[in-house]
Chain A
């Protein structure tokens, strides 16, 4: 499963979007949005400076 965003933690900084190797995250107005292209690599979970992404299914 794709990672899940804990929106209360998100700072909308774009780190996840820049780090996603397949360009699957677009920073929409209020939060990053993960598209179907996601390969579930988990990089966005680790790159987030505040830990706002939860691994998929966790």
Chain B
């Protein structure tokens, strides 16, 4: 069968970035369709579900919806020998906030888009792009065994870490293995950890990454771990590392896993390009995950608003050339590119630390008044206690 649908804006991927792009495109008058490959938006969950709530205004969200699972008082960071750094909520800026129900969250973002007039199609996968004179003008899709074309004036690629769309469009988004974290997580219940803090564990138990515990209720939490891909040799998997971590943790070892999540996140520097003729990339597809925390929901949604708004403008103006779409790129770079670079550099350094260094740093920091957890504060704290260590970080100052 070969019928063709036509829209102003086609968003590929119905995660938080895709739905948000759809929401702002529709709000600004463009006929918008969001397609999602999976049969259910938001499920299965592929996320640690830790998020701050500092972005609600920027995305014009006035009520938090049913997806807050638990509010946190702060975060605790553990060094390999057990030094603990506590960061309380009010000082931590973006890094702690609450733990959410990601499936409900994604559905709520889709609902908001639909309320503004965006159409949705689930179980609908893009399998390739349509081209005209070097410009992307739509996608070939597969839905329940049926194949057809969807034409659009502007395409927004929001297909997450897998990110095929960007590569089909000739935007190079392959990431070097050193900038990929591969992750495994269980939701565990019957555990015994402080349920009002997120917990982060540094060191060689999670080479190049960290292990996390993000509480969902008094006795339940997401317990996961990410490993730097370039440190995996194929013999020990992230799941193996996580099983070891749990076996060695008093509060976890008697718990039960009630679900499993696998996945990868990019912890790369900001992308060189996020647009081409007819197309813009948003969210994980454009590699804007925070390189230190691995959190990508918020940056992706901030970007997606800008892309959705520009898509509607572009439709109005009858433009789809990359020169025009670069306005989107300029906007998001102005908004958070510097921070991404700063955190990327910090991550590059942190990767080189061994367990002894982590112990020293967390020990030095735990004596500080952490009003602002910024790289400079951290360095200042370490300088006071271990001046010799700071040489390592000098080129970042």
Kindly supply a per-residue 1/0 record for chain B positions 248-283, scoring 1 wherever the CB is within 8 Å of any chain A CB and 0 otherwise.
000000000000111110100000000000000000
Question: Which among A15, A23, A27, A49 is the interface contact of B174 at CB below 8 angstroms?
Answer: A23
Per the CB 8 Å criterion, the residue count for chain A at the interface is: 24
B164 at the interface (CB under 8 A from A): yes
Contact, CB under 8 Å: B264 / A49: yes
Least CB distance from B182 to A in Å reads: 5
Residue of B nearest to A43 (CB): B177
Interface of A is mostly: loop
Shortest CB-to-CB span from A41 to chain B, Å, is 10
Q: Assess the A19–B175 pair: CB atoms within 8 A.
A: yes
A28 → chain B closest CB, angstroms = 8
Q: Which of the segments B64-72, B149-157, B229-237 contacts the partner chain?
A: B229-237
Check if B262 sits within 8 Å of A11, measured CB to CB: yes
Q: Is B160 interfacial (CB-CB < 8 Å)?
A: yes
A27 CB → nearest B CB, Å: 6
Interface residues of B in 30-53 (CB under 8 A from A): 37, 46
Interface SS of B by simple majority? mixed
**Out of B37, B127, B183, B234, which one reaches A46, CB within 8 Å?**
B234
Please determine whether A47 and B182 come into contact, CB atoms closer than 8 angstroms.
yes
- A49/B162 in contact, CB under 8 A: no
A50 touches B234 (CB 8 A): no
Is the beta-carbon distance between B237 and A51 smaller than 8 angstroms?
yes
A-B contact pairs, 20 of them (CB 8 A): A13-B261, A13-B263, A13-B264, A14-B162, A14-B263, A15-B180, A17-B162, A17-B164, A18-B180, A18-B264, A19-B264, A42-B234, A46-B229, A47-B229, A49-B182, A49-B184, A49-B238, A50-B238, A51-B237, A51-B239
Q: Which residues of B approach A to under 8 Å, CB–CB?
A: 37, 46, 125, 127, 160-164, 167-168, 174-175, 177, 180, 182-184, 229, 232-234, 237-239, 260-264, 266
Not counting A19-B264, A50-B239, a sample of 7 additional A-B residue pairs whose C-beta atoms are within 8 angstroms of each other reads A13-B263, A17-B164, A18-B180, A18-B264, A47-B182, A49-B264, A51-B239
